[in-house]
Amino acid sequence: MSKKLEKFYEQSGHLSALLDNDPAEAVKQAREIDFDLDTSERFNLMILRAATLVDGGTLTQQQDAIEEGLALFRELHDLFPTADITYNLANGLVATTGTPPRDSNWLDHQERSRERRAEARRCFWKVAQDSDASSSLRTQAWTNLANQFSNGYRLGEAHDAWLAALEVDPENGVAASSAAHNLLWLYEQGGCSDLTRIEAIMLAKIAHRHRDRVIQYAGAQAARHISAFASELGDPPPRSPHKDPFISWVERERLTLAPVVELVDPTLGKLDWLMLPGILERESGAGGAPPPVFAMFNVLKSDFILARDLLWRSTDEEVWPATGRFADTLDYATYGPDASALILAHRTALDLLDKIAVTANHYFELGEPPDKVYFGKLWRGVPDKATGVRPLSEKVEKAIRAGASALYGLVELAEDYDSSAGILRPQKDLRNAGTHRFVVLHDLGNPAHCRKAPEIEHHRREQFTQEVLRALRVARSAIQMLTLSIAQHEKLSGQRTTGLVGSLVVPDHDWIRGRDEGT
């Protein structure tokens, strides 16, 4: 090891120790680092200074230090957009926005910081998807992305991302603990099954068993907190494996339509038991019929279940009628109803987003004509003439400030889906290709070598299947957010309502049709 490199590691270790014991001094000494050198050593010193300023500024609440560190990471990212720099840039962006307050200023904070938070999500997403990045970096990127989702009430997506972090590193106790906290919070809101708490316990125990990894990723203080949390919970009861391969697949891929992303409880009898809460009647003379929102919600669930079933059945070409003859295009493409079912499953899943927007527009009385409602456009008004920023529409903001905080999750999801740089924009583009043009799937070979036509997009079938799974999880999470926002609104509406309130039982559809003995 060269003397320069040895000196650098010594300086890095010194600043790291200072961050634990005297972060203000660490910031002071980081600012004294001279990196005005014309050597490779310059970039190492820039990274050290930037990281110390961001971490020390966060610990001492010195916003100017955080901004200074962020500016250095931007400069480094322009020069070397490696996974490490991208990850640190994301952390710097998150540090500048701070932790969202848990009071009436929450929405103001989210709106002020939304551009930087969206950029951070893009950076974390890029690192998480980078197969060349180290597993340590990818699992931390997934964890931090999940935290960002959770802060915006995108709780289903957050749980997916924490579990993705655990898939990369099964010992990631930080992700396991965060997922457990998320499930327990939802369990305490009511409406979840006992399996929600059981899964939370299982995740907390993972965190407790891997304390060293928690220290590596989040520090000793976080490890102590997680250990204390896990010790409060008992041991989970044993579970038998599912006998039905479809149910095993649904559980493994997290595709149940339940109040939370949880394990499958076979005793419930239904996989998809997410239901709307009681709805206060707003119209007089309704004649005892349930409000229209119940019909809308039933169709959302039906379409989701169909899309999921199409994906499941598309994996077996034998279940489809073999009535068609197809010309072989000599590029390993797959044709037939199984391939079309896979493409249709993707389109059906994402078409749900517009229907979710229509349901929200109706329920929250946002006032847009139903045939003019689009998921990516509903939530915000026209751009400000001076800044170009699109503020929340007045009625959306009113609903969120009135207590339907989960509605903001749909706002943020819409931006990730509709924005040209959003992390979910490729999903929208793929959906548009499957709707308006042609998508051809290949089980062998390289689609890049196919004969090209602007009307056709070529994709590897295996990779496309993963996109369908992702689309289904996005739709599932959006339906869960819609349900939670309605539940939040109804709870507060009930508290504000005075006088007598009548009730109408909305019966189970299968029970009415004589297909189920339940109520």
The predicted pLDDT at position 508 comes to 67
Residue labelled with tokens 């929250």: 364
The pLDDT of residue 417 is 97
The CA distance from 282 to 299, in Å, is 22
The parent domain of residue 378 ranges over: 291-494
State what percent of residues in the chain have pLDDT above 70: 92
181 occurs within a structural domain: no
Partnered with residue 440 across adjacent β-strands are 458
Averaged over 40-48, what is the pLDDT? 85
Whether the pLDDT of residue 474 is over 50: the answer is yes
Distance CA 138, CA 144 (A): 10
Which of 3-17, 24-38, 414-428 is modeled with the greatest confidence?
414-428
pLDDT at 408: 97
Residue 455 lies in a domain: yes
User: What is d(CA 137, CA 133) in angstroms, rounded to the nearest whole number?
Assistant: 7
Over residues 189-212, mean pLDDT: 84
Residue 301: which of 349, 344, 266, 262 has the closest Cα?
349
Nearest to residue 143, comparing CAs of 111, 128, 165?
165
Question: Looking at the domain assignment, is residue 302 inside a domain?
Answer: yes
Lookup: tokens for 37: 């050198």
The dihedral built from the CA positions of residue 463, 468, 469 and 474, taken in this order, carries a sign that is: positive
What are the E-state strand segments in 93-138? Answer: none
Pairing of strands 456-460, 333-334: unpaired
**3 state SS of 386:** coil
pLDDT 10s digits, 59-114: 999 999 999 999 999 999 999 999 999 999 999 999 999 988 888 899 999 999 99
Q: Packing angle between helix 135-151 and helix 211-218, nearest 10 degrees?
A: 80
Give the pLDDT confidence score for residue 491 in this predicted structure.
85
Q: What is the pLDDT of residue 118?
A: 96
pTM: 0.90
**Average pLDDT of span 496-519:** 56
Residue 393 CA, chain-centre distance (Å), reads 23
- The tokens describing 35, both together, are 């990196």
Q: Report yes or no: 416 and 423 within 8 Å, Cβ to Cβ.
A: yes
Q: Which of 338, 323, 417 is nearest to 379 (CA)?
A: 417
Higher per-residue pLDDT: 469 or 497: 469
Edge-to-edge strands, sheet with 333-334:
333-334, 438-442, 456-460
Residue pair 494/277 in contact (Cβ under 8 Å)? The answer is no
Q: Are 425 and 417 in contact (CB under 8 A)?
A: yes
- Paired tokens of 448: 């890049």
CA 306 to chain centre: 22
| Rounded Cα–Cα distance for residues 199 and 180 (Å) | 7
pLDDT-based confidence at 284, cuts 50/70/90? low
Q: What percent of the chain has pLDDT over 90?
A: 61
**Which residues sit opposite 459 in a β-bridge?**
441
Evaluate if residue 285 carries a pLDDT over 80. Answer: no
- State the chain's mean pLDDT as an integer: 88
Q: How many domains does one find in the chain?
A: 1
Q: Does residue 37 fall inside a structural domain?
A: no
pLDDT recorded at residue 519: 36
The answer to whether the CB of 29 falls within 8 A of the CB of 60 is: no
Does 488 reside within a domain?
yes
User: Is there a domain that residue 415 lies in?
Assistant: yes
pLDDT surpassing 60 at residue 501: no
Q: Is there a contact between 107 and 91 (Cβ–Cβ < 8 Å)?
A: no
Indicate the pLDDT class of residue 518, thresholds 50, 70 and 90.
Answer: very low
User: In angstroms, rounded to a whole number, what is the distance separating the alpha carbons of residues 166 and 288?
Assistant: 49
| CA atoms in the 13 A half-sphere facing the CB of 9 | 5
Is the per-residue pLDDT at 470 higher than 80? yes
pLDDT at 163: 96
**Average pLDDT estimate for 33-42:** 76
Instruction: Look at the alpha carbons of 171, 174, 175, 179 in this order and tell me if their dihedral is positive or negative.
Output: positive
Query: Is residue 265 included in any domain, yes or no?
Result: no
DSSP string, 359-419: HHHHHTT----GGG--TTTTTB-SPPTTT---PBPHHHHHHHHTT-TTHHHHHHHHHHHHS
Residue 422 within a domain: yes
φ/ψ region of 37 (left if φ > 0, alpha if ψ in -120 to 50, else beta) reads: beta
Nearest to 309 by CA among 373, 250, 241: 250
* Sign of the Cα pseudo-torsion (456, 460, 465, 467, in order): negative
What type of residue is 491? K
pLDDT tens-place string over residues 358-417: 999 999 999 999 999 999 999 999 888 888 889 999 999 999 999 999 999 999 999 999
> What is the structure's pLDDT at 339?
93
Q: Which of 230 and 444 is assigned the larger pLDDT?
A: 444
pLDDT of residue 288: 67
Alpha carbon distances (Å) from 201 to 184, 211, 212, 236, 248: 9, 16, 19, 6, 21
Looking at residue 495, its pLDDT comes to: 64
Query: Which pLDDT score is estimated for 515?
Result: 60
Tell me the pLDDT tens digit for each residue of 143-176: 999 999 999 999 999 999 999 999 999 999 889 9
| pLDDT value for 7 | 79
